[in-house]
Amino acid sequence: MKKRILRTRLCDMLGIEFPIVLAGMGSRGKATPPALVAAVSEAGGLGVLGGAGMPAEDLRAAIRQARALTNKPIGVDLLLPATLAEAPPSRAAVRAELRKKFPEHVAFVRALMAQHHLPDAEVAHDFVLSRSVGEGHQKTPQEEQVQVVMEEDVQVFASGLGDPSWVVPMARKKGMKVMGLVGTVGNARRQIKAGVDIVIATGYESGGHTGKIATFPLIPQVVDAVAPVPVLAGGGIGDGRGVAAALSLGAVGVWVGTAFLVSDECAIPDEHKGQLVNGGSADFEIGRIFSGKTMRGYRNEIIRAWEKSGLDPLPMPYQKILMDDFNEAAATAGRWDLHSNPAGQVAGLLKQRRPARVIFDELVDGAIASIEELKRGITAV
């Protein structure tokens, strides 16, 4: 068989064969588990582990599991706070405030739980929102996570949110590349100031938290704004045509999330994979119901009930804490149909579950075929 070649300068920067990166997805370790991260790296791309919300030692264990499966480069994506001083209060404190300040919202969720016969459940760990307490220099959970990433055998750090400037010097010392996720040109400029090596621009179509600007207008604007810093394109890329389009827009590679959610290695519930392969693009809508921030995911019965209620979603962190506990109750009851399922519009293109290797190879082969087809089918002189 002819050796496939699809190379950009991203491949040289990261030491990978193909410019295709698994987007870090921090969904309790389920969306980008070590097996999926390793499968993408083994296939010649870069597997990125979504570590958001993982306690530091769980993150270390996940990195080591991925490392046991591949010697190729891997990355870790974390959500950093806007500033280190901005660590919010504990879940217990937020729950108490919710009951006091927003009894209507709490009562609405309790009624939803009763209607669906869900058990009482609360998210046990206090990672995301715990504040470093006490005197002295106790580390925030995010600082602990970053420390783990620096101590382990990881080649790329991706910052999904916040300001990575304090991570850059540590990463440089280690020879690690830093990438920063953005949804606007302004944020891209801020990431450059923070010192990132690569900007990841993700459009409105994306799964999970997303901005207002679609991938097509976003990518060329970010490419122009941050040149010569390279840009990875994300949001709505699900086959080789999407990869070729991203490269045409000036990106040096792609950051692919949703398309890998239907891989065999991905550990999200089967029911959620079913929503992805059976749903159309319009079934994946933006809402603030599950996290308080604009997030794209499968439009389920719970989202519809909130909309009918006339209640506005609460600001961060209230809505997230309220609905994290609801999700926990739905998960405990195995009612994945009621649980949030963050995913992007490109789900409409996904028709079957397959091994990650097959999904990856199709992205590569499809991109090569698309580029060949462009050369054959278009006269441009």
Ligand X SMILES: Cc1cc2nc3c(=O)[nH]c(=O)nc-3n(C[C@H](O)[C@H](O)[C@H](O)COP(=O)(O)O)c2cc1C
Count of residues near ligand X by CB under 6 A = 30
Which of these ranges, 22-30, 85-93, 190-198, 325-333, lies near ligand X under the rule CB under 6 A?
A: 22-30
Q: Does 31 bind ligand X (CB under 6 A)?
A: yes
Residue among 16, 20, 27, 177 that touches ligand X (CB under 6 A): 27
Q: Does 24 bind ligand X (CB under 6 A)?
A: yes
> Closer CB to ligand X, residue 208 or residue 279?
208
Taking residue 51's Cβ as centre, other Cβ atoms within 10 Å add up to: 31
- Return the closest-CA partner of residue 76 out of 156, 166, 160: 156
For tokens 């709490």, the residue is: 106
Q: Residue 254 CB, nearest distance to ligand X (Å)?
A: 8
Q: Residue 116 CB, nearest distance to ligand X (Å)?
A: 22
> Closer CB to ligand X, residue 98 or residue 246?
246
Q: How far apart are CA 243 and CA 284, in angstroms?
A: 21
Taking residue 379's Cβ as centre, other Cβ atoms within 10 Å add up to: 5
Q: How far apart are CA 75 and CA 283, in angstroms?
A: 30
The type of residue at 327 is: N
> Closer CB to ligand X, residue 93 or residue 293?
293
Which of these ranges, 3-11, 257-265, 280-288, 367-375, lies near ligand X under the rule CB under 6 A?
A: 257-265
> Closer CB to ligand X, residue 22 or residue 113?
22
Q: Does 240 bind ligand X (CB under 6 A)?
A: no
> Closer CB to ligand X, residue 255 or residue 306?
255
Q: How far apart are CA 88 and CA 92, in angstroms?
A: 12
Which of these ranges, 38-46, 104-112, 234-242, 325-333, lies near ligand X under the rule CB under 6 A?
A: 234-242
Q: Does 342 bind ligand X (CB under 6 A)?
A: yes
- Return the closest-CA partner of residue 5 out of 17, 21, 20: 17
Tell me, what DSSP letter sits at residue 165? G
For tokens 């005197």, the residue is: 135
For tokens 């962190």, the residue is: 317
Asked whether the bond before 228 is cis by omega within 30 degrees of 0, the reply is: yes
Binding-site ranges for ligand X (CB under 6 A): 23-27, 31, 50, 52, 77, 79, 160, 181, 202, 205-208, 234-237, 255-259, 342-344, 346
